[in-house]
């Protein structure tokens, strides 16, 4: 049978943390990553717009013969997932349910904090998903708008990052949450500074690892896991692939291949 | 579209803990449970025999039009899963990967203990699955042969259960594992006594909840989750459905419908 790739998309760079986790955990899979750099950021746009972008990307990935599409973006997962399921034949997984499941499973004191973009916080997608399976959970949300630019600048180790994180995390510490969801695909890039401030008693739930786990179980269930050969990665961006490549290599800390330009049919 | 049930099977009663978790988490799904009471226990039988039983049950479930088969038995998951994937068209999920994933995600000190039947411990299925994604994990395994009969007798609250559990859990406590996998579908029935002995600092990873989570993500990915109507449950046993019904109601603490007798085509 022909090897089928997994498709991954995000509004821009953040989803590369999920790509990295997929490569580590499923090293034999071919991966196609689409960064919608022409339309980034999604967080401040309407649901209709985010759905339109997501459908166009997903249709492109479907045309590449993918066996699974991973929505590596919280905003698109919260706003477009049901429409993607309705309109596509290929399976689609979002980032919110796996994170919510793991947080509900991990917490010992029932107090969970969600860090996210303003859009994700406003959508209440995480609280809804957590409360479905853990009605007594006490959840606080904290929007961290400066985290995305900090991560994109690779400033995670600068003193400014620690100061900003301390400020955002004050209400989280006060809430005595023992479990904190990194509810944006950029945030794993700031994990060291967040973990240092919150300390050892707090578990960080990371979209990247949870989604890679979920994708593995999904493909295993359908007997579609590749078990041999080195997986290849192909990256696409909808605008300025050169800049995307530069930033992606900075974020991932490794060389990546050519990034192809692919304008979306909107 | 016609409503398709989820099929669940176990060598006997233990898998009912997974059935219960599925009903709680996916209340709109129809469920078919098959307890292979004619061939229980699987733990002491050959791989060939376990595979033969599992295939016969899975074929029966497939003939009932299920959209997913959940192998609610550690022994069958460890020994027959790859053959089920090879020979069936319907997706199949086992119990080991989801538990291993969650344990690797939950542990803070990298020390994980696996409690299981002698067969499951001997197969090393959990250590293999954990080490794949967490190569530095330190894993101890502990076979607890008395736990299954204790659970089947509903003796979890008797003083004997505490004494036996203390004995089995001594090496676990000594290992300083902060995460303990209940690697047998019967063990969630003994969760209170196990949790009390190990104390608050230890997270118990429960096959029932992890597998229900995995099934939910799987069906969501394929847009096959039922979102309305009350799900129905149909139980089958391969021997003496009356005894099975009696024990099942005792274990689950609630009334269940008729259990039908279905002899396997072996």
Flag whether pLDDT at B2 surpasses 90: no
Say yes or no: A154 and A191 in one domain: yes
User: Does B220 touch chain A if contact means CB atoms closer than 8 Å?
Assistant: yes
User: What is the Cα gyration radius of chain A?
Assistant: 18
Residue reference for tokens 């249709």? A59
Say yes or no: A244 and A190 in one domain: no
Say yes or no: A192 and A180 in one domain: yes
User: Does A7 touch chain B if contact means CB atoms closer than 8 Å?
Assistant: no
Q: Provide the residue range defining the domain that includes B109.
A: 96-206
In a domain, A129, yes or no: yes
> What pLDDT is recorded for position B208?
87
Please count the other Cβ atoms lying within 10 Å of the Cβ belonging to residue A85. Answer: 17
For B146-163, write each residue's pLDDT tens digit.
Answer: 998 888 777 888 899 999
Are residues A21 and A10 in contact, defined by beta-carbon separation less than 8 angstroms?
A: no
Give the domain-ending residue among A206, A225, A247: A206
* CB within 8 Å of chain B, chain A residues 87-106: 91-93, 97-98, 101-102, 105-106
- Going by pLDDT thresholds of 50, 70 and 90, the confidence category of residue A154 is confident
Inter-chain residue contact A218 with B218, CB threshold 8 Å: yes
- Supply the mean pLDDT for chain B: 92
In a domain, A87, yes or no: yes
The number of distinct structural domains making up chain B is 2
> What pLDDT is recorded for position A1?
61
Give the domain-ending residue among A206, A223, A244: A206
Residue B130, token pair as written in the block: 């954990």
- Supply the mean pLDDT for chain A: 92
- Going by pLDDT thresholds of 50, 70 and 90, the confidence category of residue B1 is low
Say yes or no: B101 and B202 in one domain: yes
What mean pLDDT is predicted for residues A66-78?
Answer: 94
* Neighbouring residues of B234: CB distance < 8 A, sequence distance ≥ 6: B5, B30, B31, B32, B33, B257, B260
User: Does B133 touch chain A if contact means CB atoms closer than 8 Å?
Assistant: yes
> What pLDDT is recorded for position B186?
86
User: Which of B212 and A42 is assigned the larger pLDDT?
Assistant: B212
User: Does A199 touch chain B if contact means CB atoms closer than 8 Å?
Assistant: no
Say yes or no: A232 and A188 in one domain: no
Flag whether pLDDT at A166 surpasses 80: yes
> What pLDDT is recorded for position B91?
97
B34 forms bridges with which residues in the sheet?
B9, B236
Flag whether pLDDT at B128 surpasses 90: yes
Inter-chain residue contact A86 with B223, CB threshold 8 Å: yes
Closest CA to B219 of B25, B58, B86: B25
> What pLDDT is recorded for position A148?
84
In a domain, B250, yes or no: yes
Say yes or no: B247 and B170 in one domain: no
Among the partner-chain residues A91, A200, A213, the one whose CB lies closest to the CB of B221 is A91
Give the domain-ending residue among A175, A191, A206: A206
Are residues B263 and B56 in contact, defined by beta-carbon separation less than 8 angstroms?
A: no
> What pLDDT is recorded for position B233?
92
ipTM at complex level: 0.79
Say yes or no: B42 and B102 in one domain: no
Closest CA to B28 of B206, B236, B221, B224: B224
Determine the residue among B96, B97, B221, B222 to mutate to test chain A binding: the one whose Cβ has the most chain A Cβ atoms within 10 Å: B221
In a domain, A1, yes or no: no
CA distance A240 to chain B (A): 31
Give CA–CA dist B157/B196, Å, rounded. 11
In a domain, A266, yes or no: no
Say yes or no: B60 and B108 in one domain: no
Say yes or no: A78 and A143 in one domain: no
CATH number, domain of B196, equals 3.40.50.1860
In a domain, B266, yes or no: no
Please provide the size of chain A in residues.
Answer: 266
What mean pLDDT is predicted for residues B177-202?
Answer: 93
Among the partner-chain residues A200, A213, A218, the one whose CB lies closest to the CB of B221 is A218
Inter-chain residue contact B203 with A106, CB threshold 8 Å: yes
Among the partner-chain residues B86, B209, B221, the one whose CB lies closest to the CB of A92 is B221
Say yes or no: A89 and A218 in one domain: yes
User: Does B209 touch chain A if contact means CB atoms closer than 8 Å?
Assistant: yes
Flag whether pLDDT at B122 surpasses 80: yes
CA distance A42 to chain B (A): 22
Residues of chain A contacting residue B26, judged by C-beta atoms under 8 Å apart = none
In a domain, B112, yes or no: yes
Flag whether pLDDT at B246 surpasses 70: yes
Flag whether pLDDT at A143 surpasses 80: yes
Determine the residue among B217, B224, B226 to mutate to test chain A binding: the one whose Cβ has the most chain A Cβ atoms within 10 Å: B217
What mean pLDDT is predicted for residues A98-121?
Answer: 92
Residues of chain B contacting residue A103, judged by C-beta atoms under 8 Å apart = none
Say yes or no: A217 and A163 in one domain: no
In a domain, B16, yes or no: yes
- Percentage of chain B surpassing pLDDT 70? 100
Say yes or no: B68 and B139 in one domain: no
> What pLDDT is recorded for position A195?
96
């Amino acid at each position: 049978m022909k090897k089928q790739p997994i498709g991954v998309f995000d509004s821009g760079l953040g989803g590369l943390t999920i790509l990295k986790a997929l490569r580590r955990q499923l090293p034999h899979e071919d991966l196609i990553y689409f960064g919608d750099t022409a339309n980034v950021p999604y967080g401040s746009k309407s649901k209709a717009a985010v759905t339109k972008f997501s459908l166009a990307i997903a249709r492109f990935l479907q045309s590449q013969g993918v066996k699974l599409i991973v929505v590596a973006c919280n905003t698109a997962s919260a706003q477009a997932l049901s429409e993607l399921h309705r309109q596509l034949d290929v399976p689609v997984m979002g980032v919110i349910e796996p994170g919510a499941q793991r947080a509900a499973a991990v917490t010992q004191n029932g107090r969970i904090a969600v860090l996210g973009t303003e859009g994700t916080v406003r959508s209440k997608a995480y609280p809804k998903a957590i409360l479905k399976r853990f009605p007594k959970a006490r959840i606080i949300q904290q929007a961290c708008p400066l985290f995305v630019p900090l991560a994109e600048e690779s400033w995670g180790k600068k003193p400014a990052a620690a100061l900003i994180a301390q400020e955002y995390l004050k209400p989280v510490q006060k809430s005595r949450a023992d479990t904190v969801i990194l509810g944006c695909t950029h945030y794993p890039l700031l994990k060291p500074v967040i973990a240092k401030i919150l300390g050892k008693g707090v578990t960080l739930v990371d979209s990247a690892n949870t989604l890679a786990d979920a994708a593995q179980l999904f493909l295993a269930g359908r007997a579609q896991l590749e078990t041999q050969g080195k997986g290849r990665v192909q990256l696409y961006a909808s605008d300025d692939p050169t800049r995307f490549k530069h930033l992606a290599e900075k974020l991932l800390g490794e060389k990546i291949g050519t990034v192809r330009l692919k304008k979306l049919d909107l």
